[in-house]
């Protein structure tokens, strides 16, 4: 049974830093992209960052670029999100997700449908940014 469990969410002051962690089980972690998404309380879903299966390529939403950093440790089946310069509008539930981005073989190229969809999702961890 596939499972993702986030940890690290807490109350932090504006301008502060936080590191979220996610531990995966039930699938071959190193075979998949992974992503972080977030949802402000009572609001919709926002993709914020993705990392490829090897941990060598990254992508970020403009809202977090330059402040957040995604990483992974395939030996520990773990995904991380380093969050710096936190702002009030970063307050949200943060979800760790397995990202089903198609993986193209060496020398190949993706021409369409090259982004991912998400399954499964962790239960989420709440980050509250407030003074």
- Kindly list the residues in this chain that would bind other proteins in the complex (CB under 8 A): 44-47, 59, 61-62, 95, 100, 112-124
For residue 92, give both structure tokens: 């949200």
Whether omega for the bond prior to residue 120 falls within 30 degrees of 0, making it cis, is: yes
Least CB distance from residue 121 to other proteins, whole Å? Answer: 4
Least CB distance from residue 8 to other proteins, whole Å? Answer: 16
Among 7, 56, 10, smallest CA distance to 30 is for 56
Least CB distance from residue 89 to other proteins, whole Å? Answer: 17
Among 82, 79, 84, smallest CA distance to 96 is for 79
Query: Residue 74 — φ and ψ, nearest 5°?
Result: -65, -25
Would you say 112 or 131 has its CB closer to other proteins? 112
Would you say 78 or 100 has its CB closer to other proteins? 100
Q: Kindly state the DSSP code that residue 104 receives in the 8-state scheme.
A: P
Least CB distance from residue 74 to other proteins, whole Å? Answer: 23
Would you say 15 or 123 has its CB closer to other proteins? 123
């Amino acid at each position: 049974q596939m499972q993702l469990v986030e940890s690290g969410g807490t109350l932090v002051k504006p301008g502060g830093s936080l590191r979220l962690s996610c531990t995966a089980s039930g699938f071959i972690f190193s075979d998949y992209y992974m992503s972080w998404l977030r949802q402000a309380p009572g609001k919709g879903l926002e993709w914020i960052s993705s990392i490829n299966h090897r941990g060598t390529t990254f992508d970020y939403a403009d809202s977090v670029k330059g402040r957040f950093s995604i990483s992974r440790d395939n030996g520990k089946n773990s995904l991380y999100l380093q969050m710096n310069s936190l702002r009030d509008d970063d307050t949200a539930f943060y979800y760790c997700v397995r990202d089903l981005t198609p993986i193209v073989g060496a020398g190949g190229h993706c021409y369409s449908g090259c982004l991912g969809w998400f399954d499964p999702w962790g239960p989420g961890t709440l980050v509250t940014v407030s003074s």
